[in-house]
């Protein structure tokens, strides 16, 4: 008998989506980009801002994720 696997997003992917959304919510404009779609994909409750990985301590990590996403070029067709 096989164990049934439940598809859940990777924790790193969830954190990245939340950091991008947090950027729009708490960082001063101008924003690198406005990305709140991650909140819809992750579908967390309203307490997501209180997660330990959303604290002010994570600001440098959030900044690096945003900078990386901003400067990644899409693949040429």
Per-residue pLDDT of the chain (77 residues; tens, 9 = 90+): 566 766 777 888 888 888 888 888 888 888 888 887 877 777 677 787 888 888 888 888 888 888 887 777 566 66
Domain boundaries, the chain: 11-70
Query: So what's the pLDDT on residue 74?
Result: 61
Which residues does 54 contact at the CB level (< 8 Å), separation at least 6? 18, 19, 22, 48
User: And the tokens for 25?
Assistant: 């919510």
Query: So what's the pLDDT on residue 8?
Result: 76
Query: So what's the pLDDT on residue 63?
Result: 84
| 3-class secondary structure, 36 | coil
| H helix or E strand, kind and range, residue 55 | none
Q: Identify whether the C-beta of residue 35 lies closer than 8 Å to the C-beta of residue 70.
A: no
| Whether this model's pTM surpasses 0.95 | no
């Amino acid at each position: 008998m096989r164990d049934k696997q439940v598809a859940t997003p990777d924790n790193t992917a969830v954190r990245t989506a939340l950091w991008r959304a947090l950027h729009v919510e708490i960082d001063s404009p101008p924003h690198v980009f406005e990305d709140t779609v991650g909140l819809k994909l992750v579908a967390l409750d309203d307490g997501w801002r209180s997660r330990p990985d959303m604290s002010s301590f994570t600001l440098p990590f959030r900044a690096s994720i945003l900078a990386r996403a901003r400067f990644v070029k899409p693949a040429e067709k």
